[in-house]
């Protein structure tokens, strides 16, 4: 069978699946008066779901099941009281410990990363194996990226921290796409209105958990400030607390004080911007995937997966790149 | 923020997760592989320099070999010329020697012949003298002074010999 014929068959099958997906999806089922869509309506929960211990999970899942039952009743009858549940929150408390599904995903990603990188980089050969060559290429990409911003010496020093951030963000985003069946279908079920449904996923992309980007943002922040102090010692603080001119009795020093405080605020705001940029992109991507799966299942989601691969790559480049740029500014001697 | 999922234990867990990743990857992946890359760069640089050196050495030794070959060729030619000259000289010497020995042989033969002829002439002369004396004695039938006759005969014979040689 020629390649052309295979491609043609794949094209026809995709077109058929697209039409079928449209018909049995949420949009089609409404249009054609079907009983219910092929994929049930997804519930969007920003906080990650606890998986272990079981008591905490059951607590959250039990609440959600009850919430769904209420929604079902509301659909049947009056829509009064709709806002009550939306405003109410039921999840982990600020200090409450539980192993969440995003945490499991991060661990899975970490194990895959360790196996992949250590497996390929252990006992490196002069003539590399294919895996070693691939990892060398990835490392050189990041190293060249770091060196182009910081110079060869500083780029080499910053490489481990920046490369770990880059690969962790990238692998977290991509593994969730490559292992989509595990991410979307494996979890804990519950009986909702006489029907057994997936109530919570076992794993969920770690990027959709606010704590993961926040942790990376803190790492980036601490790393940048550490190198800032190392490069300029306590003189680094003059950038933020520029009281020199005021103490010398120059009124124009007020501007410097104001600029310094702005610098301080912007330094702290970076943590927030880092966090919400990654969290927002990853969460939006995940929501897009589940919504498209709900609306038009099967083929249409493939385009979203492609988009998500690109978004994951862009986010990892942005996170690593901004860390490098902030580091470059922090260690630069020109501004002091 | 809690509504968005902010949770301190999770945050700490991610931080620990990152630090473990950083430490393990740093020790077991980044360092060995970057060192290997550095070593490879160094070894490639050395190999290129060695290749350049080898190329230069090859060019130098090639010209040296060509020079040696030319020298050997010249030497061979010179030896050949010398051998040819020696052979020619030897041939000429041998020819001279052969010619000389042939001449010597001819000279010796000529001397032998002359000596033999002289001896024969002397013998003939002696016999002829005796014969002449005897004949004269018989003719004149008288004894004359033998000594005077002998001198007379020798003189006649010498004149006769000179006449023979002139012929």
- In SS3 terms, B104-130 reads as HHHHHHHHHHHHHHHHHHHHHHHHHHH
Extract the tokens encoding B11.
């945050």
- Residues of B with CB below 8 A from A121's CB? 28-30, 32-33
The CA distance from B18 to A316, in Å, is 15
Count Cβ neighbours within 10 Å for each residue of A264-282 and write b for 16 or more, e otherwise: eeebeebbeebbbbbbebb
User: Phi first, then psi: what are they for A43, rounded to 5°?
Assistant: -100, 130
User: Nearest residue of A to residue B36 by CA position?
Assistant: A124
Nearest beta carbon to residue A211 from set B5, B36, B37: B5
Q: Which residue has the tokens 């990409």?
A: A141
Q: Which of B3, B8, B12, B14 to mutate to test the interface with A (most CBs of A within 10 A)?
A: B14
Q: How many CA atoms lie within 13 A of A139 on its CB side?
A: 26
Please tell me the distance in Å from A32's CA to the nearest CA on chain B: 37
User: Nearest residue of B to residue A206 by CA position?
Assistant: B14
> At CA A203, angle to CA A73 and CA A89, rounded to 5?
40
Q: Are the beta carbons of B6 and A156 separated by less than 8 Å?
A: no
pLDDT digits (tens, 9 = 90+) for A81-125: 444 444 344 677 888 888 999 999 999 999 999 999 999 988 888
Query: What is the pLDDT, as a whole number, of residue A85?
Result: 43
Q: Are the beta carbons of A168 and B21 separated by less than 8 Å?
A: yes
Segment B137-157 shows an average pLDDT of 73
User: Nearest residue of A to residue B8 by CA position?
Assistant: A95
Q: What is the largest CA-CA distance in chain B?
A: 195
Q: Are the beta carbons of B15 and A218 separated by less than 8 Å?
A: yes
Please tell me the distance in Å from B72's CA to the nearest CA on chain A: 46
pLDDT of residue A146 exceeding 60 = yes
- Residues of A with CB below 8 A from B10's CB? 48, 92, 100, 102-103, 209, 211
- Residues of B with CB below 8 A from A165's CB? 18
Beta strands, E only, chain A:
50-52, 99-100, 187-192, 195-201
Segment B24-34 shows an average pLDDT of 94
- Residues of A with CB below 8 A from B32's CB? 121-124
Among residues of chain A, what percentage have pLDDT more than 90? Answer: 47
Q: Could you tell me the pLDDT band of residue A225, with boundaries at 50, 70 and 90?
A: very high
Q: How many CA atoms lie within 13 A of A255 on its CB side?
A: 3
Q: Which residue has the tokens 């051998």?
A: B83
The CA distance from A331 to A151, in Å, is 11
Q: Which residues, in sequence order, are bridge partners of residue A100? A: A50
Q: Which of A298, A334, A302, A269 is nearest to A23 (CA)?
A: A298
Q: Are the beta carbons of B21 and A164 separated by less than 8 Å?
A: yes
- Residues of B with CB below 8 A from A214's CB? 6, 11, 14
Cβ(A237)–Cβ(A86) below 8 Å: no
Query: What is the pLDDT, as a whole number, of residue A90?
Result: 62
Query: What is the pLDDT, as a whole number, of residue A160?
Result: 96
Q: Give residues with Cβ within 8 angstroms of A81, minimum separation 6.
A: A74
pLDDT digits (tens, 9 = 90+) for B88-144: 999 999 999 999 999 999 999 999 999 988 888 888 888 777 777 777 777 775 556
Cβ(A142)–Cβ(A205) below 8 Å: no
Query: What is the pLDDT, as a whole number, of residue A84?
Result: 42
Q: How many CA atoms lie within 13 A of A137 on its CB side?
A: 7
Q: How many CB atoms lie within 10 A of CB A222?
A: 13
Query: What is the pLDDT, as a whole number, of residue A71?
Result: 59
Q: Are the beta carbons of A139 and B30 separated by less than 8 Å?
A: yes
Cβ(A200)–Cβ(A184) below 8 Å: no
Q: Which of A277, A139, A249, A226 is nearest to B33 (CA)?
A: A139
The CA distance from A246 to A254, in Å, is 6
Among residues of chain A, what percentage have pLDDT more than 70? Answer: 89
pLDDT digits (tens, 9 = 90+) for B57-96: 999 999 999 999 999 999 999 999 999 999 999 999 999 9
Please give the helix or strand (H or E) that residue A91 lies within, else none. Answer: none
- Residues of A with CB below 8 A from B2's CB? 47, 89, 91, 93-94
pLDDT digits (tens, 9 = 90+) for A161-211: 999 999 999 999 999 888 887 888 888 877 766 777 777 888 999 999 999
Q: Could you tell me the pLDDT band of residue A33, with boundaries at 50, 70 and 90?
A: confident
- Residues of B with CB below 8 A from A118's CB? 24-25, 28-29
pLDDT of residue A76 exceeding 60 = no
Please tell me the distance in Å from A124's CA to the nearest CA on chain B: 6
Q: Are the beta carbons of B28 and A121 separated by less than 8 Å?
A: yes
The residue among A184 and A317 whose pLDDT is bigger is A317
pLDDT of residue A314 exceeding 60 = yes
Please give the helix or strand (H or E) that residue B96 lies within, else none. Answer: helix B31-140
Q: Are the beta carbons of B9 and A98 separated by less than 8 Å?
A: yes
Query: What is the pLDDT, as a whole number, of residue B143?
Result: 58
Q: Which residue has the tokens 């000529």?
A: B110
Distances (CA, A) of A145 to A141, A241, B26, B110: 6, 32, 18, 117
Count A/B contacts: CB-CB distance under 8 Å. 136
Query: What is the pLDDT, as a whole number, of residue A73?
Result: 58
Q: Are the beta carbons of B33 and A121 separated by less than 8 Å?
A: yes
Segment A49-72 shows an average pLDDT of 72
The CA distance from B71 to B64, in Å, is 10
- Residues of B with CB below 8 A from A102's CB? 10
Q: Are the beta carbons of A46 and B22 separated by less than 8 Å?
A: no
The CA distance from A188 to A45, in Å, is 15
Q: Which residue has the tokens 């002069």?
A: A126
Question: What residues of chain B have any CB closer than 8 angstroms to a CB in chain A?
Answer: 1-11, 13-15, 17-18, 20-22, 24-26, 28-30, 32-37, 39-40, 43
- Residues of B with CB below 8 A from A144's CB? none
Cβ(A292)–Cβ(A22) below 8 Å: no
Q: Are the beta carbons of B14 and A103 separated by less than 8 Å?
A: yes
The CA distance from A298 to A316, in Å, is 28
A94: DSSP letter: S
What does DSSP say about strands A187-192 and A99-100: parallel, antiparallel, or unpaired?
unpaired
Please enumerate, as own/partner, the contacts of A246-255 that have beta carbons within 8 Å and a separation of 24 or more.
none
């Amino acid at each position: 069978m020629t390649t052309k014929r295979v491609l043609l068959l794949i094209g026809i099958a995709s077109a058929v699946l697209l039409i079928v997906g449209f018909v049995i999806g949420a949009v089609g089922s409404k249009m054609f008066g079907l009983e219910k869509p092929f994929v049930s309506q997804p519930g969007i929960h920003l906080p990650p779901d606890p998986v272990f211990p079981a008591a905490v999970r059951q607590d959250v899942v039990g609440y959600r099941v009850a919430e769904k039952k209420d929604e079902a009743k509301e659909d049947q009858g009056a829509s009064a009281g709709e806002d009550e549940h939306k405003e109410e929150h039921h999840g982990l408390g600020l200090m409450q410990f539980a192993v969440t599904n995003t945490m499991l995903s991060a661990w899975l990603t970490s194990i895959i990363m360790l196996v992949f990188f250590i497996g390929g980089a252990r006992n490196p050969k002069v003539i590399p194996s294919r895996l070693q060559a691939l990892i060398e290429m990835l490392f050189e990409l990041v190293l060249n990226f770091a060196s182009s911003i910081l110079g060869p010496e500083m780029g080499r020093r910053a490489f481990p921290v920046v490369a770990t951030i880059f690969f962790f963000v990238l692998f977290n985003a991509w593994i969730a796409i490559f292992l989509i069946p595990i991410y979307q279908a494996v979890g804990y079920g519950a009986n909702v209105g006489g029907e057994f449904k997936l109530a919570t996923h076992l794993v969920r992309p770690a990027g959709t958990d606010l704590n993961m980007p926040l942790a990376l943002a803190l790492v980036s922040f601490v790393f940048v400030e550490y190198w800032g102090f190392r490069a300029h010692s306590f003189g680094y603080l003059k950038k933020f607390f520029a009281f020199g001119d005021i103490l010398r009795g120059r009124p124009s020093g007020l501007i410097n004080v104001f600029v310094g405080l702005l610098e301080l605020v912007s330094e702290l705001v970076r943590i927030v911007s880092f966090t919400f940029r990654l969290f927002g992109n990853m969460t939006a991507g995940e929501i897009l995937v589940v919504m498209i799966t709900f609306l038009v299942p099967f083929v249409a989601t493939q385009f979203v997966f492609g988009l998500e691969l690109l978004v994951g790559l862009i986010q990892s480049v942005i996170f690593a790149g901004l860390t490098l740029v902030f580091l470059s500014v922090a260690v630069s001697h020109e501004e002091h | 923020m809690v509504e968005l999922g902010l949770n301190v234990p999770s945050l700490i867990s991610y931080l620990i997760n990152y630090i473990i990743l950083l430490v393990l990857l740093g020790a077991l992946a980044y360092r060995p592989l970057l060192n290997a890359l550095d070593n490879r760069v160094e070894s490639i640089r050395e190999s290129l320099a060695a290749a350049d050196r080898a190329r230069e050495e090859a060019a130098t030794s090639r010209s040296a070999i060509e020079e040696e070959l030319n020298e050997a060729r010249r030497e061979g030619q010179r030896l050949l010329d010398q051998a040819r000259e020696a052979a020619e000289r030897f041939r000429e010497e041998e020819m001279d020697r052969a010619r000389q020995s042939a001449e010597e042989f001819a000279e010796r033969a000529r001397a032998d012949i002359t000596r033999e002829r002289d001896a024969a002439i002397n013998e003939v002369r002696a016999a002829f003298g005796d014969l002449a004396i005897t004949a004269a004695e018989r003719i004149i039938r008288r004894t004359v002074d033998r000594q005077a006759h002998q001198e007379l005969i020798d003189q006649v014979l010498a004149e006769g010999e000179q006449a023979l040689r002139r012929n």
